[in-house]
Amino acid sequence: MTNQEIISKLPYSKPFLFVDEILKINENGVEGTYTFDENLDFYKGHFKDNPVTPGIILTEVMAQIGLVCLGIFLLDNSLNKNPSIALTSTAIEFLKPVFPNEKVTVISEKVYFRFGKLKCKVIMKNEKGDVVCTGKIAGMVISK
């Protein structure tokens, strides 16, 4: 499966698709990018006259790239063609703000994938290479 095919299998669409590209992916992890468009609705009120990307959106970007893309890749390799992935837990530490028009890179490392549960260690870096958030994300991977 190509990286673009993985993105096309994501259960999201704009404006809630937070994956621009997958740079690399294998059975142990994934690396991908997303650029925050300054016109996204949440910037209008978070914060007034000083827009910052909400932490829940940063978490969602980390989950879409670091958990869901990897889960689709892993399930495709196990011949399961219709995966559904549900987030079960997150533990994220936010270290730096992410502003409109910033491009971030998410790097995810598989901790384990067994009995339908995928757990990953995930970090997000800005274009300078600074870590902006880090943590662990887990989800259940099931067939439809």
The DSSP secondary structure of 58-124, one letter per residue, reads HHHHHHIIIIIIHHHHHHHHTT--SEEEEEEEEEEEE-S---TT-EEEEEEEEEEEETTEEEEEEEE
Delimit the domains of the chain by residue range.
3-143
DSSP letter string, 132-143:
EEEEEEEEEEEE
Pick the CATH number of 3-143 from 3.40.50.300, 3.10.129.10, 2.40.160.20, 3.30.830.10: 3.10.129.10
pLDDT tens per residue across all 144 residues of the chain: 899 999 999 999 999 999 999 999 999 999 999 999 999 999 998 888 899 999 999 999 999 999 999 999 998 765 555 667 889 999 999 999 999 999 999 999 999 999 889 999 999 999 999 999 999 999 997 766
Q: Hey, which residues are catalytic here?
A: 46
> For residues 111 and 101, what is the distance between their CA atoms, to the nearest angstrom?
31
Question: Could you tell me the two tokens for 107?
Answer: 């790097």
The pTM for the full model equals: 0.94
